[in-house]
Amino acid sequence: MKLKNRFFLAAAAALLSACSADYLDTLPQSSTDTGTVFETTENARMAVNGLCLMMTQQYLGQQGVNGEGTIKTWYGNYPGNDFQKCNLTGWAPIINATYMERNSVLYCYYPWFYYYKLVGNANRILANIDKAVGAEEERLFIRAQALTVRAYAYLMLSQLYCHRWADSNQGASRGLPLRIDTSDGDLPASTLAQVYTQIYTDLDAAIDGYTRSGLTRPRDDNHSPDLAVAYAIYARAALTREDWAAAAKYAPLARKDYPLMSNADYVDGGFSTPNSEWIWSSYSAPDQTLYYFSFFAQQGSNSSANICRSYPCAISKELYDRIPATDVRRRMFLAPQEGDAYNTANGRVTAGPLLERARRDYASKLFSSSLIYAYMQFKFLCTGQPGVGQLNHFRSAEMYLIEAEALCRLGGMDADVQALMQALVKDSGRDPQYACTKTGADLLEEVRLYRRIELWGEGFDWFDLKRWRLPIERHAHPTGSFHAQFAVSVKPEEGNQWTWVYPAKEVDYNGALDSYIE
């Protein structure tokens, strides 16, 4: 089975209907073809809707395979240093990052399938939008949206299937097949530098299109790409490529109209419903949910799904202990106090003050039959059962941290970095007692620490460790809080330099590829 995605019109029609039920009433699946989908800019806007909906769909008939949420959970959170799916020992191979050279497993081919599906559908929009009847500014905006999604997909693919920039010989290492049109057949891999050139080219064209169109997405639409989303992707891509000047340029542009959320939002629903600092997210509602397959049915502390009730998500003790006592973010985790009893082997709490505190202080954020574990999280909350919740992809807080890290790398800008950290941590109210006075290498470490704290559980952990070239170092009790089966050490040079091999299914189809990175 080849993994390169084609644009299946019947499936596309079903996706297009998600935000417009009338569309399928007028255009049944059996009669929907490319000409109809792109006949007008109004129809093409629904194609973009469908493209965005692909980011939160179940794929490959697998539970937990839910589009973008799976990438955050399986690839960003599970194999990192700061996140634990309590007692889920059957998942130790994926949590301990041991599958990266196994080219036939689901975990290897799912991201390839998913992101090339986005690429293929974005390419179809780009190939047909110029023929759509409508205003030129609408065509410009829709083209920009498709370019934005394609750039994002290639960025994510590069982080998974390519070496980190630091190990790439300035981008000379093998990259990805760059499919930028609707043609089929064999296609060799580009270099990593060429992948980033394509990402930048797409984003430059998207920014130009958004600007020339003069259009914006509706105020209540956080789910479609727009100019701020293109800036945000540019900032993240530049950071990953170690292009510090570009990262520092685009991060403030992305966050300009997205002020940081309040503390009240932060600790109570700020990660399941859009608020002031959300730049881009995926939509969910009770009538448009993946039920037990969704991100929130995997991570929501109040989900009725067994994977959450029996195996809650938790922060590592070592990271929690570094959050200052005056920081509001400590309130999002159930931490033991002196004298509290729990099973130090697996974290389970069955009696005593810690259990009572969990049931009392976090009653509204727990399902009634949920098991209680030390350091469990209450950051991600379902808005409906078993897993309703809107999934954030970019926040302005990340943009502060990107700019701060980039300025650290550029050097000589300690005062600017300190000001960014003060704005993010103290001025936002997250920690009124925070003061940033460090300089040089110590300041960079401060930025890294607060990136781990601020973005915990949002799918950055493993990706950050990879680009920083830092090891996975997890510890069991008493130093840490990981189950013994997860208390491992993985060096940056191991596991094919943390690079997933090309999936066998794609290599079998695309004769210009082979399985292993050189």
CA–CA dist 216, 224 (Å, integer) = 10
In this model, does residue 3 exceed pLDDT 50? no
The set of residues, in sequence order, having a beta carbon less than 8 Å from that of 206 and lying 6+ positions away, is: 143, 144, 145, 147, 148, 151, 225, 230
Q: Mean pLDDT in the chain?
A: 92
- Type of residue at 5: N
Q: Return the structure tokens found at 37.
A: 């989908």
In this model, does residue 43 exceed pLDDT 70? yes
- Residue 357, domain member (yes or no): yes
- Residue 459, domain member (yes or no): no
pLDDT value at residue 35: 73
Q: Tell whether 322 and 419 lie within a shared domain.
A: no
Q: At which of 337, 363, 389 does a domain end?
A: 389
Please give the full DSSP string across 88-155, using - where no structure is assigned. -GGGHHHHTT--TT-TTSHHHHHHHHHHHHHHHHHHHHHHHGGGSBS-HHHHHHHHHHHHHHHHHHHH
Q: Tell whether 245 and 330 lie within a shared domain.
A: no
Q: Tell whether 142 and 87 lie within a shared domain.
A: yes
**Which helix or strand (DSSP H or E) is residue 472 part of?**
strand 472-473
**Which helix or strand (DSSP H or E) is residue 70 part of?**
helix 68-70
CA–CA dist 165, 144 (Å, integer) = 27
- Residue 112, domain member (yes or no): yes
In this model, does residue 12 exceed pLDDT 60? no
Q: Tell whether 310 and 422 lie within a shared domain.
A: no
- Residue 315, domain member (yes or no): yes
pLDDT value at residue 18: 35
**pLDDT band at 53, cuts 50/70/90?**
very high
Q: Tell whether 374 and 506 lie within a shared domain.
A: no
Q: Are 102 and 108 in contact (CB under 8 A)?
A: yes
- Residue 202, domain member (yes or no): no
pLDDT value at residue 17: 36
- Type of residue at 268: D
CA–CA dist 412, 440 (Å, integer) = 8
Q: Return the structure tokens found at 353.
A: 């003050």
We report the CATH number of the domain holding residue 45 as 1.25.40
- Residue 517, domain member (yes or no): no
Residue 473: strand pairing partners: 489
pLDDT value at residue 63: 81
Residues 142-184: tens digit of each pLDDT: 999 999 999 999 999 999 999 999 999 999 999 999 999 999 8
**Which helix or strand (DSSP H or E) is residue 85 part of?**
strand 83-85
We report the CATH number of the domain holding residue 440 as 1.25.40.390
Q: Tell whether 157 and 231 lie within a shared domain.
A: no
End-to-end CA distance of the chain: 25
In this model, does residue 280 exceed pLDDT 50? yes
- Better pLDDT: 5 or 281: 281
pLDDT value at residue 8: 36
Q: Are 142 and 95 in contact (CB under 8 A)?
A: no
pLDDT value at residue 61: 87
pLDDT value at residue 518: 53
Length of the chain: 518
Q: Tell whether 313 and 225 lie within a shared domain.
A: no
Number of domains in the chain: 3
Residues 389-418: tens digit of each pLDDT: 999 999 999 999 999 999 999 999 999 999
**Measured on CA atoms in the order 363, 365, 371, 376, is the torsion positive or negative?**
negative
pTM of this prediction? 0.94
* Owner of token pair 């891509």: 237
pLDDT value at residue 517: 58
Residues 112-142: tens digit of each pLDDT: 999 999 999 999 999 999 999 999 999 999 9
- Type of residue at 130: D
Q: At which of 371, 389, 407 does a domain end?
A: 389
Q: Tell whether 234 and 366 lie within a shared domain.
A: no
Q: Tell whether 421 and 401 lie within a shared domain.
A: yes
Residues 483-499: tens digit of each pLDDT: 999 999 999 999 999 99
- Residue 178, domain member (yes or no): yes
Please name which of 295, 362, 299 lies closest in space to residue 333, comparing C-alpha atoms: 362
Residue numbers of the domain that contains 316: 284-389
At residue 437, the 3 state secondary structure works out as coil
Residues 195-245: tens digit of each pLDDT: 999 999 999 999 999 999 999 999 999 999 999 999 999 999 999 999 999
Q: Return the structure tokens found at 121.
A: 């559908």
CA–CA dist 427, 423 (Å, integer) = 5
Q: Tell whether 182 and 228 lie within a shared domain.
A: no
- Better pLDDT: 337 or 2: 337
- Residue 422, domain member (yes or no): yes
**pLDDT band at 23, cuts 50/70/90?**
very low
**Phi, psi for residue 153 in degrees, rounded to 5:** -60, -45
**Max CA distance (Å), the chain:** 70
Q: Tell whether 153 and 274 lie within a shared domain.
A: no
Q: Tell whether 102 and 165 lie within a shared domain.
A: yes
Residues 320-373: tens digit of each pLDDT: 999 999 999 999 999 999 999 999 999 999 999 999 999 999 999 999 999 999
Q: How far is CA 25 from CA 19, 29, 30, in A?
A: 13, 9, 12
Q: Are 417 and 443 in contact (CB under 8 A)?
A: yes
Q: How far is CA 263 from CA 9, 402, 407, in A?
A: 44, 21, 27
**pLDDT band at 33, cuts 50/70/90?**
low
Q: Return the structure tokens found at 17.
A: 């209907």
At residue 44, the 3 state secondary structure works out as helix
- Type of residue at 431: D
Q: At which of 345, 364, 389 does a domain end?
A: 389
Q: Return the structure tokens found at 96.
A: 């301990």
* Owner of token pair 């078993």: 386
